[in-house]
Amino acid sequence: METCCSSSSSSLSSSSSSVNVGVFKNVFLPSSTCLSLRQPQSKSSSSFAEGGRFGRALNTTAATKEETSNKSQNEIEMKGITLRGRPMYLDMQATTPVDPRVLDAMLPYFVSSYGNPHSRTHYFGWEAENANEEARKNVADVIGATEKEIIFTSGATESNNMAIKGIANFYKSGGKTHVITTQTEHKCVLDSCRQLQQNGFDVTYLPVKTNGLIDLEELKKAIRPGETCLVSVMAVNNEIGVVQPLKEIGEICRANKVFFHTDAAQAVGKIPLDVDEMKIDCMSISGHKIYGPKGVGAIYVRRRPRVRMEPIINGGGQERGLRSGTLPTPLLVGLGEACKVAKEEMEYDHKHVERLSKRLLDGLKERIPYLVVNGDEEQRYPGNLNVSFAYVEGESLLMGLKDCAVSSGSACTSASLEPSYVLRALGVEEDMAHTSIRYGIGRFTTEEEVDRAVELTAEVVEKLREMSPLYEMVQEGIDISKIQWSSH
């Protein structure tokens, strides 16, 4: 399949003159049709090259300490809170900034290459379709799949719903009405499973160990031969960053003829993934977690052995009939370019993130006693650092860090004041779960931001502990775990 009009020297003769033509989809087109405006810019375009590695201004940089110390300078009021300058962004698990190379690839499809990819009778539609298929290939390449196994969606939430409900409902008629997942999955997975339960399915919610990892022996015991149709386990946990043993899970599922789905929104492009080697049957992918646009994602659906599912969106039959609706070419191009860049730079990004994560944790440990890292410290993605601080009040801690964009859990549950259900599943005590902070480090995070985050966190924790009677008792050598508290 050709991806652009060729600058062919062929010509068509008319009665009086010849016209230069190009060839597209085996159709001869006048060269004037192949406008340069419609050709997507390559990542080596001048707009990117002139900006160095980060391209055009990508402003994730926080205000300096000097700027924030001057209360009258650059004040911003939002949501009833006054901010002194732009906060630093350390919430990469919630979303990532769009990489300039991704934006460069997307722009032509907003302003000039705007055809409907499902219009099969003219150049504009062919051009958009070609761009979509190139994006599909880029997504497939980053996980070791084939293009025909990639279905585009609006994001990981839709992909998770498709996998869980689609597979369960398709195989229900064969008596397979049992699904296995874990207690620490993303809310959209847990809610999808609860809906299955309302429709007559039986769901097993596997507990996790105190380090956040599942017990493989418990998984084996939970599988019911002839009844279990699906196991769904997240690749990298969005709150604590632990990496589940995907290959081992895949082998267990394949040996028991059970499909294996993984929510890889936090994993794709960040850790090496190979769907064949890991025996993964379905995988959910998100664009905005890997420096791509919001509102687009994909689901990998294995063809051999074939995975079948019922569609949850019906209509024009796009995406092999599994996900109807006009494909948003600019977003797909962005997702594809994000996957391409992530694959090319995965090793560099991982080293960069790992170095800054170590710098952040070492700095926090040096400045702040009585902190605990939540989740396994070895088997984890380093860009996600979840830490609990003892003897401080959680909401006050988060408000005190208003100049640093961090979170206390997943973005989907951040409006809740309840302690994280993920941390509760690990057995973290409620008071420590309330004081957890998730720091997200990414491709564009700088040493200066990490150092400033350490300084800010240390200042806020110190101030809050000065007001804590519990911390004062600990300082005096009192073992507060042995105190009998009276209730009123």
What is the reported pLDDT for 12? 36
Average pLDDT over residues 312-323: 87
pLDDT in tens, 230-283: 999 999 999 999 999 999 999 999 999 999 999 999 999 999 999 999 999 999
What is the reported pLDDT for 7? 39
pLDDT in tens, 194-233: 999 999 999 999 999 999 999 999 999 999 999 999 999 9
Ranking 49-53, 214-218, 346-350 by mean pLDDT, the lowest is 49-53
| CA distance linking residue 160 with residue 408, whole number of Å | 23
What is the reported pLDDT for 13? 38
What is the reported pLDDT for 6? 41
| CA distance linking residue 338 with residue 296, whole number of Å | 11
43 pLDDT exceeds 50?
A: no
| CA distance linking residue 463 with residue 366, whole number of Å | 17
What is the reported pLDDT for 308? 97
The answer to whether the CB of 422 falls within 8 A of the CB of 469 is: no
Residues of the chain with CATH 3.40.640.10: 108-341
How many CB atoms within 10 Å of residue 356? 23
Q: 168-171: long-range contacts at Cβ-Cβ below 8 A with a sequence spacing of 24 or more? A: 168/196, 168/201, 168/229, 168/230, 169/309, 169/310, 170/308, 170/309, 170/310, 171/229, 171/308
Q: How confident is the model at residue 59 (pLDDT cuts 50, 70, 90)?
A: low
225, two tokens = 């031969």
What is the reported pLDDT for 29? 58
The answer to whether the CB of 213 falls within 8 A of the CB of 244 is: yes
Burial code (b: 16+ CB inside 10 Å, e: under 16) for 214-246 equals beeeebeebbbeeebbbbbbbbbbbbbbbbbbb
Ranking 38-52, 72-86, 302-316, 324-338 by mean pLDDT, the lowest is 38-52
| CATH class of domain segment(s) 108-341 | alpha beta
What is the reported pLDDT for 51? 42
What is the reported pLDDT for 62? 58
445 pLDDT exceeds 90?
A: yes
What is the reported pLDDT for 24? 57
The answer to whether the CB of 182 falls within 8 A of the CB of 208 is: yes
pLDDT in tens, 95-107: 999 999 999 999 9
CATH code matching the domain that covers 345-477, chosen among 3.90.1170.50, 3.40.50.1970, 3.90.1150.10, 3.40.190.10? 3.90.1150.10
Q: Omega before 305 cis (within 30°)? A: yes
What is the reported pLDDT for 354? 98
Average pLDDT over residues 445-453: 97
What is the reported pLDDT for 63? 58
438 pLDDT exceeds 90?
A: yes
Residues 246, 291, 344, 107, Cα dihedral to 10°: 140
| CA distance linking residue 347 with residue 325, whole number of Å | 36
Residues of the chain with CATH 3.90.1150.10: 345-477
Q: How confident is the model at residue 15 (pLDDT cuts 50, 70, 90)?
A: very low
Ranking 25-39, 78-92, 112-126, 130-144 by mean pLDDT, the lowest is 25-39
Q: Look at strands 178-182 and 228-232 and give their pairing.
A: parallel
229 catalytic? Reply is no
63, two tokens = 């205000």
Q: What is the percent of the chain with per-residue pLDDT over 70, rounded to a whole number?
A: 81
Q: Which of 229, 253, 404, 412 is catalytic?
A: 412
Q: Could you tell me how many residues make up the chain?
A: 488
φ/ψ of residue 53, rounded to 5: -65, -35
Average pLDDT over residues 346-357: 98
What is the reported pLDDT for 160? 98
Query: Which sign does the torsion angle of CA 439, 213, 274, 151 carry?
Result: negative
Ranking 23-27, 448-452, 459-463, 470-474 by mean pLDDT, the lowest is 23-27
pLDDT in tens, 417-437: 678 999 999 999 998 999 999
Task: Please give the single-letter amino acid code of residue 364.
Answer: L
What is the reported pLDDT for 459? 98
Q: How confident is the model at residue 487 (pLDDT cuts 50, 70, 90)?
A: low
Q: How confident is the model at residue 28 (pLDDT cuts 50, 70, 90)?
A: low
Closest residue by Cα to residue 285 from 277, 296, 276: 296
Calculate helix-pair angle for 447-466, 329-367, nearest 10 degrees.
Answer: 50
pLDDT in tens, 369-378: 999 999 999 9
Closest residue by Cα to residue 104 from 39, 195, 33, 166: 39
Q: How confident is the model at residue 475 (pLDDT cuts 50, 70, 90)?
A: confident
Q: How confident is the model at residue 53 (pLDDT cuts 50, 70, 90)?
A: very low
Q: What is the pTM of this model?
A: 0.84
What is the reported pLDDT for 373? 98
What is the reported pLDDT for 25? 60
Mean predicted lDDT score pLDDT of the chain: 87
57 pLDDT exceeds 50?
A: no
457, two tokens = 């966190």
Rg (C-alpha) for the chain, rounded Å, is 26
What is the reported pLDDT for 9? 38
